[in-house]
Chain A
Amino acid sequence: MKRSSSRRSGVSSSSSSPGSCDLLRSGSSKAVSKETERIDQLFYTYMDKPSGMIDPEGIESFCSDLEVDHTDVRILMLAWKMQAERQGYFTLEEWRKGLKALHADSISKIKKVLPDLEREVRRPTSFMDFYSYSFRYCLTEKQKSIDIESACELLSVVLGYLFRHQVDKLVEYLKNQHEYKVINMDQWMSFLRFCNEINFPSLENYDPNLAWPLILDNFVDWMREKQNGSLGLKSF
């Protein structure tokens, strides 16, 4: 999977809401280094000594300190801010990067800054990036696709609060169908486009002759059959 570095710079340059400051803001280097120190300290509290990274256990305790469930979307958002590469693990670099960008160096500050982070993510320009990041984040080393179960969970987490109905129906469909066992990036991205562009639940502006992936064509057919009930008589 290609990862262009431009994505990363895109993230940092688009952040301008209060509370997410650019690392390059001028200020007394002393204040900055103090901040870095506190960030690092925070890291060490959760770090797993042998690996030098925060592992899933560490993340669990981090989450409980934050009083946020570890399946909460905000953790995913934090991971995004950090551009964490591996699900369940944070490196020092990533930790620093994320927390510095958030200008938060303690648990309480992080807590305070979470709503702002949410707002930032929800902006259309960043959301697309966040959305595609969340898919990549769930991939393991050599994989290019996620199995259906995990994809459904991820969908609920990432898109659920924005497009509740669509996600519910889509998840129901994905769990019921047998043709696809995994979801790839192309299909993943198309789900977001689908939610944004297609009227729900009417689906009247969906055209299977366009370049929508086949999985969505099948989903729409399934929806329409359900809507027509037992009178599923199609004329063509």
Chain B
Amino acid sequence: MEEKTLKDMKEEEIRKMEKKTLKDMKEKEEKEEEMRKLELMLSNIEIKGLSNETLDGIKCMTLYTDIYIVATDSNQVFNAKMYSKYKEFHNDYLNDIVLPHLRLHHGEFLLKEFETSWAHYSKVIHNRLHLYFRYLGRYYVAREKLLNLNDVGNRCFIDLLYEEMRSRVMDAVICLINKERDGAKIDRELVKKVVNVFEELKLYEDIFEERIVAGTKDYYSKKASLWISENSCPEFMLKVEECLEKEENMVRDCMKPATEQKIVSEVEHKLLVLHSTQLFDKEYSGLKKLLEDGKVVDLARMYRLYSRVHDGLQHVCLAFKNHVTAQGMALVRQTEIEVNKHVVKNDVGALQNQQVHLIMEFIKLHEVYLSYVNDYFQSNSMFFKVLKEAFEVFCNKSIAGVSPAELLSIFCDQTLKKKSCDNDKSTEDTIDDVVKLLVYISDKDMFAEFHRKKLARRLLFNKSDSDEHERYLLTKLKQKCGRHFTSKMEGMVTDLTLCQDTTASFTDYLRDNPDMNPGFDLTVTVLTIGFWPSYKTCTFNLPPEMLRCVEAFKQFYQTRTKRTRITWLFSLGTCTIVGKFEPKTMDLIVTTLQASVLLLFNSANRLSYSDIKDQLDLPEEDVTRLLHSLSCAKYKILKKEPDTKTISKTDYFEFNSMFTDRLKRIKVPFPLVDDRKKVIETVVSDRRHAIEAAIVRIMKFRKVLGHHQLMSECAEVLSSTFRPDFKIIKLQIESLISRDYLERDSKDHSVYRYLA
């Protein structure tokens, strides 16, 4: 019995196991069947129908459901497979349909195909696939953190078509762009569309921009070499300007804004930078020639173009400077030659004319080139600077020994003497020009001193055309050079204004004190010492008539102020003398000294040189000059024995009763002593004092200073007035050392120490 049970049990077990196994097997089979089904389903998900425009609605549903079933399968095995299937679908489409199409086409058609393929792919195909596989995307992809379904589409496109896009597509784009550059009309919309594709793919910078810029580079490299050899400088620049405009236009129209700068800088580099030397140095049309011929439009264009390029204007600037300097130097040399001719002939008038002419030329030159900088070089400060430097070079050249400071003062003198109704320019404008030129002259103190001398002459001999103009010039000078520059001169002008008051009071005084009245019309100009240049005073025996005048005024002046002491400057006065000549009575306008000589002949008909000299008590050279002006010059008021051209101490003089002239009133000229040397000496000695004062001031402040620093600080401090000679500074330092104001440091001989 038991044997049976065991057997039974075993059988039962076996049967159970068999059943189980069978069940399992069945399950497994079922499962496998299911798998197979799914697999089949998966593989059946065709993409062939995807490219169709219209899809069967039922087919869609079926597809979606199939995918859903596979996706929701509890096994999860299929998810990964589905994902790859998804990718596979994309790739297959691209490989089977897109790529072959692209490969079939070229040029513009390629681009069209490219654009449409992408459009279809991204909008239609991809969207459909995405739609079907959406369930997968929602859960599996998100959970596993895989590339989301949207991006998979782009990724597949990029991976498969990268090379194609980079090479063939971009070649086509560049070709098209170059066609436009060459002048043809192209389909810009197409380019825009292609740009959009790249943007959507986020490959704009990597592929499109990079290749476009490279293409631009190549294109313009070739063009540049061609154009530079074929065209003149202005023609070339015109082309460049046009190109830049076109490029900017095109980029703004078709591409992203960031690309503009890159393309433009490539164009600039290839056209403007690489060949700039060749361009500027062109023999018949280069930079130098443009400046010489005054081709301002071209110059303005050159400025516009090269101001775009970093450091592009250096060359232009330098050429401008050299040109202006050359022009100025040519003027200087020309004038020097002319002046030397006149010096040889001793033609003073012509000499002065030449000198004045030079200044006028300088002014004209300045106007012209200032307008260049303002109008054509857009008031660039670099150009102002080189204009200044250029002028400083030739404005400081002496002409036949006459310094430019003096030349300018001569010009100034003439300008202020002239009547105001002059040709084109108003006097004030001319004054402005003078001040502008003065800025360039380094010896400003020399100008100041010459001007002061000439101003004195003008004021005293009433040669100045207008007080206002004198004041205007002084105001301008004060603005440019500081108050100390014009303080003395202003004092001079003020003195003259005050003189009117004094004269009025004097007239009143004479009216009130008739016994003091000398009987002549007397005008006295009172000058404040210090403002006016120093004049030589000489002892001199006044004729009695004049003595009375002097006394009268002296008395009058005492009533005004007890403190001031008057010194009379007879050499500066003028006198109107009535000459009773036999033909007719004439008025002679002479200087006070000349008048004194003539008055001597009221009491004696014939006088010797020594008589005259003794009676007047004047130095010999003055007597000689006086007599010469009255007997050997234009008007022979006195007869000289012997009748030679020069005065000698043994000569005799007689009143020339037969003297006459066409006019009733003549001015007998008295040539001035050439005090140029004196002016220069004054300036030089003033400079020494200024240098010394500057050194002391600097050393007092610094206490200890090295040689170089002292020299440069000194030059700096004085630069607004003049440019000190380093030798003179050294000399003054040594002088200060020997007077124990400074000492050399015992250890370092180039260091100076201030001694309190």
Query: Could you tell me which A residues sit within 8 Å of B by CB distance?
Result: 144-145, 184-187, 189-190, 193, 209-211, 213-214, 217
Contact = CB atoms under 8 A, between A and B. Distances in A.
A145 B731 contact: no
A27 to B, nearest CB: 36
Contacts of B708: 209
Given A145-B738, A184-B738, A210-B707, A217 B744 contact: no
B431 to A, nearest CB: 37
Nearest to B711: A209
A217 B727 contact: yes
Interface in B705-756: 707-708, 726-727, 730-731, 734, 737-738, 744, 749-752
A184 B737 CA distance: 10
Contacts of A209: 708, 726
A18 B750 CA distance: 37
Given A144-B738, A145-B738, A184-B738, A211 B744 contact: yes
B734 A213 contact: yes
A189 B731 CA distance: 17
B738 A186 contact: yes
B731 A211 contact: no
Contacts of A145: 738
Contacts of A210: 707, 750
Contacts of B726: 209
A190 B738 CA distance: 13
A189 B737 CA distance: 13
A186 B745 CA distance: 11
A171 to B, nearest CB: 21
Contacts of A184: 737-738
A211 B750 CA distance: 5
Given A185-B738, A211-B750, A211-B752, 20 more contacts: A144-B738, A145-B738, A184-B738, A186-B737, A186-B744, A189-B744, A190-B749, A193-B749, A209-B708, A209-B726, A210-B707, A210-B750, A211-B744, A211-B751, A213-B730, A213-B734, A214-B727, A214-B734, A217-B727, A217-B730
In this complex, which of A209, A211, A213, A214 has the most chain B Cβ atoms within 10 angstroms of its Cβ? Answer: A211
Given A184-B738, A190-B749, A214 B731 contact: yes
B749 A211 contact: yes
A77 B731 CA distance: 33
Nearest to A197: B749
Nearest to A190: B749
Closest 3 CB pairs of A and B: A211-B707, A211-B750, A184-B738
A193 B749 CA distance: 9
Interface string B26-61: 000000000000000000000000000000000000
In this complex, which of A144, A184, A186, A190 has the most chain B Cβ atoms within 10 angstroms of its Cβ? Answer: A186
24 contacts: A144-B738, A184-B737, A185-B738, A186-B737, A186-B738, A186-B744, A187-B734, A190-B749, A193-B749, A209-B708, A209-B726, A210-B707, A211-B707, A211-B744, A211-B750, A211-B751, A211-B752, A213-B730, A213-B734, A214-B730, A214-B731, A214-B734, A217-B727, A217-B730
Contacts of A187: 734
Contacts of A189: 744
A221 B40 CA distance: 110
B404 to A, nearest CB: 20
A193 B747 CA distance: 12
A186 B753 CA distance: 13
Contacts of B730: 213-214, 217
Interface of B: 707-708, 726-727, 730-731, 734, 737-738, 744, 749-752
- Give the secondary structure class of B's interface: helix
In this complex, which of A144, A184, A214 has the most chain B Cβ atoms within 10 angstroms of its Cβ? Answer: A214
B756 to A, nearest CB: 14
A145 B727 CA distance: 21
Contacts of B751: 211
Contacts of B731: 214
A210 B711 CA distance: 10
Contacts of B727: 214, 217
A186 B707 contact: no
B692 to A, nearest CB: 15
B715 to A, nearest CB: 12
A146 to B, nearest CB: 12
A150 B730 CA distance: 25
A186 B734 contact: yes
Nearest to B732: A214
A53 to B, nearest CB: 30
In this complex, which of B727, B737, B749 has the most chain A Cβ atoms within 10 angstroms of its Cβ? Answer: B749
Contacts of B750: 210-211
B26 to A, nearest CB: 114
A211 B748 CA distance: 10
Nearest to A215: B734
B695 to A, nearest CB: 13
B161 to A, nearest CB: 71
Nearest to A214: B730
Contacts of B737: 184, 186
A183 B708 CA distance: 24
A87 B92 CA distance: 120
Contacts of A193: 749
A158 B707 CA distance: 29
Nearest to B727: A214
Nearest to A128: B746
A43 B750 CA distance: 45
A213 B707 CA distance: 11
Contacts of B749: 190, 193, 211
Nearest to B743: A186
A145 to B, nearest CB: 7
Nearest to A186: B737
A193 B745 CA distance: 14
A82 to B, nearest CB: 24
A148 to B, nearest CB: 15
Contacts of B707: 210-211
Nearest to A182: B738
Nearest to A145: B738
B145 to A, nearest CB: 77
A190 B707 CA distance: 15
A69 B749 CA distance: 36
A117 B737 CA distance: 33
A177 B172 CA distance: 87
A194 to B, nearest CB: 11
Nearest to A193: B749
A28 to B, nearest CB: 41
B126 to A, nearest CB: 81
A209 B706 CA distance: 12
A126 B13 CA distance: 131
Nearest to A1: B740
A99 to B, nearest CB: 30
Contacts of A144: 738
A217 B727 CA distance: 9
A113 to B, nearest CB: 30
B68 to A, nearest CB: 96
In this complex, which of B707, B708, B730, B731 has the most chain A Cβ atoms within 10 angstroms of its Cβ? Answer: B730
Contacts of A214: 727, 730-731, 734
A193 B750 CA distance: 12
Nearest to B750: A211
Contacts of B752: 211
A217 B725 CA distance: 14
Contacts of B734: 186-187, 213-214
Nearest to A187: B734
Contacts of A186: 734, 737-738, 744
A145 B734 CA distance: 13
B736 to A, nearest CB: 10
A185 B749 CA distance: 13
A19 to B, nearest CB: 30
A211 B707 CA distance: 6
A118 B737 CA distance: 32
In this complex, which of B708, B738, B752 has the most chain A Cβ atoms within 10 angstroms of its Cβ? Answer: B738
A177 to B, nearest CB: 14
